[in-house]
């Protein structure tokens, strides 16, 4: 963790450097007396703490603080203001714009060391928390994959089964065709042989025709194209399932936001959930032509899978004699791309609806749910500057809205 000290006075820079190197754990102290260079330094160096002077020429510390906090990737950096000011308005602005602490000038060595050690400890805790969050996301994802594994295996085994059957059929067809081709080759050689009589040629030709009829060669040849087409479709189905799983299972630790097709993310989620849904509910899809959404498609697919899984479990818990209904719509709403998922299950109790995004809150029996699914889902959507909303009338189903900034409008990252 590197520490960046920004001050236009070289004396303060030197004193701060000596105290930091002697008393605060760090991986390097970077000194800067030009505020215009700060953003370039942050882009190039792994800075965990910024010690920022308020009064500087050209660009004051409060204005620079606002610039730093305007970028999502710098939200976790600890910013400590360095000031000789004592007016309350300056302090109010510093904390309003995202300062974590302040140190008075002139430098008091004891105060300086204690506050900077606290900043370093906080930065370490933030990094540990982010790592823990990443582990929780992956654990929830693996749990989802474990629960869905049997269904996904069935969806893969189905096309693999008929592809294998088609290959066996084609192998038998090829054996028949090979025998007849060999007979035609023999006939061709005999035609060129002057010692072979016409009667022998006619006899062989008749035998070939009989074998063609017996082996149903016309049917064999007619079957080849549809068998190949069906097998290719099966391979495509398996490939799509595997790709959907790859998209879903990616770690997403870098939280990279890229432009993604919301409709395709929904298709991936439905493909993974297909076997679990089809015995419980009918899915009604209404996809509009929408802008690309700025997000990580694997993490957003995880959110959709979690919501779909909860809908399936809720409908299944009613033990009704008919299939339920899950409706999925995509559309644009202002600067957002929206996916709405509704079900006609039992809905959410009024005293539960304000708690469903809380960590570890679950209505499932002990041991059957962690209570992290929707909490993690909420955090994922918020991370990409979006919204995850819910509305439910108890006894009449539930609706979730996943709203993500359109790529052309998004300010994330």
Question: Which two tokens mark 7?
Answer: 């001050």
Per-residue pLDDT of the chain (413 residues; tens, 9 = 90+): 899 999 988 888 999 999 999 999 888 999 999 999 999 999 999 999 999 999 888 888 899 999 999 887 888 899 999 887 767 788 788 888 899 998 988 889 999 999 999 999 998 888 887 777 666 666 666 666 666 666 677 778 888 888 888 888 888 888 888 888 888 888 888 888 888 788 888 888 888 888 788 777 888 888 888 888 888 888 888 887 777 777 666 645 455 678 999 999 999 889 888 888 988 999 999 999 888 999 988 889 889 988 998 899 889 888 788 999 999 999 999 999 999 999 999 988 888 888 887 766 566 654 445 556 787 888 889 888 899 999 998 888 999 999 999 986 544 44
Q: Helices 262-278 and 109-191 meet at what angle, rounded to 10? A: 70
Q: Of the residues 79, 107, 135, which one is the last residue of a structural domain? A: 107
User: What confidence score (pLDDT) does residue 150 get?
Assistant: 65
Q: Is the peptide bond before 374 cis (omega within 30 degrees of 0)?
A: no
Residue 261, judged by CB atoms within 10 A of its CB (0-12, 13-18, 19+), counts as middle
- Does a structural domain hold residue 283? yes
User: What confidence score (pLDDT) does residue 410 get?
Assistant: 46
Residue 60 sits in a domain whose CATH number is 3.40.50.2300
User: What confidence score (pLDDT) does residue 360 get?
Assistant: 60
For the chain, what is the domain count?
A: 3
- Does a structural domain hold residue 413? no
Do residue 298 and residue 373 come from a single domain? yes
- Does a structural domain hold residue 118? no
Do residue 301 and residue 339 come from a single domain? yes
Question: Which two tokens mark 362?
Answer: 């679950």
> Helix, strand, or coil here: 310?
helix
- Does a structural domain hold residue 259? yes
Q: How many angstroms separate the Cα of 59 from the Cα of each of 36, 54, 55, 268?
A: 7, 9, 8, 48
- Does a structural domain hold residue 115? no
Do residue 23 and residue 53 come from a single domain? yes
Do residue 388 and residue 355 come from a single domain? yes
Q: How far apart are CA 290 and CA 330, in angstroms?
A: 7
CA angle at residue 171 from 168 to 177, to 5 degrees?
A: 145
Q: How far apart are CA 268 and CA 241, in angstroms?
A: 8
- Does a structural domain hold residue 354? yes
User: What confidence score (pLDDT) does residue 131 get?
Assistant: 72
Do residue 349 and residue 269 come from a single domain? yes
Q: How far apart are CA 70 and CA 74, in angstroms?
A: 8
Do residue 300 and residue 399 come from a single domain? yes
Q: How far apart are CA 375 and CA 388, in angstroms?
A: 10
Do residue 97 and residue 18 come from a single domain? yes
Do residue 392 and residue 285 come from a single domain? yes
The answer for residues whose C-beta is within 8 angstroms of residue 276's C-beta and 6 or more apart is: 148, 151, 309, 312
User: What confidence score (pLDDT) does residue 352 get?
Assistant: 82
Do residue 332 and residue 380 come from a single domain? yes
Domain carrying residue 102 = 2-107
Q: Residue 54's closest CA among 100, 11, 7?
A: 7
Residue 334, judged by CB atoms within 10 A of its CB (0-12, 13-18, 19+), counts as exposed
Do residue 266 and residue 223 come from a single domain? no
Q: Of the residues 107, 127, 156, which one is the last residue of a structural domain? A: 107
- Does a structural domain hold residue 212? yes
Q: Of the residues 248, 278, 308, which one is the last residue of a structural domain? A: 248
Helices (H), 253-370: 262-278, 297-316, 350-353
Residue 399 sits in a domain whose CATH number is 3.30.565.10
Do residue 258 and residue 385 come from a single domain? yes
- Does a structural domain hold residue 137? no
Do residue 259 and residue 399 come from a single domain? yes
Q: Which long-range contacts (CB under 8 A, 24 or more apart) does 55-63 make?
A: 55/83, 55/84, 55/85, 56/6, 56/7, 56/8, 57/8, 59/35, 60/35, 61/6, 61/35, 62/90, 62/93, 62/94, 62/97
The dihedrals phi and psi of 127, each to the nearest 5 degrees, come to -65, -40
> Helix, strand, or coil here: 410?
coil
């Amino acid at each position: 963790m590197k520490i960046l000290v920004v001050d236009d006075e070289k004396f303060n820079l030197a004193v701060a450097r000596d105290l930091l190197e002697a008393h605060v754990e760090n991986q390097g102290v970077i000194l800067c007396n030009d505020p215009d260079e700060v953003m370039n330094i942050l882009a190039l160096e792994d800075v965990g703490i910024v010690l920022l002077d308020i009064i500087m020429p050209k660009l004051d510390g409060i204005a620079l603080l606002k610039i730093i906090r305007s970028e999502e990737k710098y939200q976790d950096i600890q910013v400590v203001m360095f000031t000789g000011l004592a007016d309350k308005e300056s302090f109010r602005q510093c904390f309003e714009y995202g300062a974590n602490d302040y140190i008075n000038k002139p430098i008091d060595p004891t105060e300086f060391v204690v506050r900077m050690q606290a900043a370093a400890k906080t930065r370490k805790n933030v990094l540990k928390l982010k790592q823990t969050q990443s582990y929780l996301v992956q654990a929830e994802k693996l749990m989802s994959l474990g629960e869905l594994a049997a269904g996904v295996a069935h969806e893969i085994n189905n096309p693999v089964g008929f592809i294998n059957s088609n290959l066996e059929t084609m192998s038998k067809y090829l054996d028949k065709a090979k025998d007849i081709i060999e007979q035609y080759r023999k006939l061709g050689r005999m035609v060129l042989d002057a010692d072979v009589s016409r009667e022998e040629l006619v006899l062989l030709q008749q035998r070939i025709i009989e074998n063609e009829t017996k082996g149903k060669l016309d049917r064999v040849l007619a079957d080849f194209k549809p068998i190949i087409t069906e097998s290719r479709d099966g391979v495509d189905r398996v490939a799509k399932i595997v790709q959907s799983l790859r998209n879903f299972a990616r770690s997403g630790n870098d939280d990279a936001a890229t432009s993604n097709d919301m409709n395709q993310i929904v298709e991936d989620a439905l493909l993974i959930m297909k076997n679990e849904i089809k015995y419980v509910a009918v899915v009604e899809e209404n996809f509009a032509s929408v802008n690309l959404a700025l997000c990580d498609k694997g993490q957003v697919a995880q959110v959709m899978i979690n919501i779909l899984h909860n809908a399936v479990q809720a409908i299944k818990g009613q033990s009704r004699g008919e299939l339920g209904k899950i409706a999925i719509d995509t559309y644009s709403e202002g600067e957002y791309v929206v996916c709405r998922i509704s079900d006609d299950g039992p809905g959410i109790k009024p005293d539960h609806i304000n708690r469903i995004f809380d960590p570890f809150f679950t209505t499932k029996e002990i041991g059957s749910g962690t209570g992290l699914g929707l909490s993690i889902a909420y955090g994922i959507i918020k991370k990409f500057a979006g919204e995850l909303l819910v509305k439910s009338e108890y006894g009449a189903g539930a609706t979730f809205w996943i709203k993500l900034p359109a790529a052309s409008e998004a300010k994330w990252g």
